[in-house]
Amino acid sequence: MSIYKELKRECYEANMQLDALELVVYTFGNVSAVDRDRGIFAIKPSGVPYELLKPEDIVILDYDANVIEGNLRPSSDTKTHAYLYKNWENIGGISHTHAIYSVAWAQAQMDIPIFGTTHADHLTSDIPCAPPMRDDLIEGNYEYNTGIQILDCFREKQLSYEEVEMVLIGNHGPFTWGKNAEKAVYNSKVLETVAQMAYLTRQINPDAPRLKDSLIKKHYERKHGKNAYYGQ
């Protein structure tokens, strides 16, 4: 029996949630879960249909994307996950999807404006879109460089990965993260919902204004502030 059984189970269940929430198409998309004490993470194997996926199929790797346990090839996005885990020590799970509205905004190379309180319940800024990758980086270690692309975007926009747990990669799609794999998937669904709402808002009123600062502050702080009162 694998010593990584529980980590594999967490990763498997998170990946199955991606499918259940209709955030993936065919075998596209992946979730990983990290074990900080061991310095390893678990990720979905590449190209395995969700209906055939089993907990024992999950691949275990270190932060340099070296396989520690598993007989299947890990997700093609593994090096991106590894780079984020290595550089952002306070994340416990990462999710990548090809969800339609999130991808549409990424293909448009646009940040998602903060139009309403659903968005403000989760963050106080627009959802950032990293610019498309440079040609020399595309021709190089592409998935590893995607991790660099994400960190560069957050540095340039002066964003905290602990406050903004999602990003769009220009012409590619969304990555989200959180304290564990379950939260990363939650953030993927939130991102897709907000992306759809923002798209429809622009269709109804192309000149729709950004949510005013007082409402952004109120809705974010009632869930995340020191005197938060949302939920149990």
* β-sheet bridge partners, residue 60: 42, 69
Nearest to 178 by CA among 91, 70, 59: 91
Residue with tokens 């990293």: 130
Choosing from 64, 152, 213, 230, the catalytic residue is 230
Q: Parallel, antiparallel, or unpaired: how do β-strands 129-130 and 166-169 relate?
A: parallel
| 12 among known catalytic residues | no
Say if CB 90 and CB 129 are below 8 A apart: no
| 121 among known catalytic residues | yes
Say if CB 46 and CB 59 are below 8 A apart: no
Distance of alpha carbon 218 from the chain centroid: 25
Choosing from 63, 111, 121, 199, the catalytic residue is 121
131 to 17, 113, 151, 189: CA distances (angstroms): 29, 16, 12, 22
Nearest to 113 by CA among 184, 206, 223, 225: 206
- Give catalytic residues, as residue numbers: 121, 230
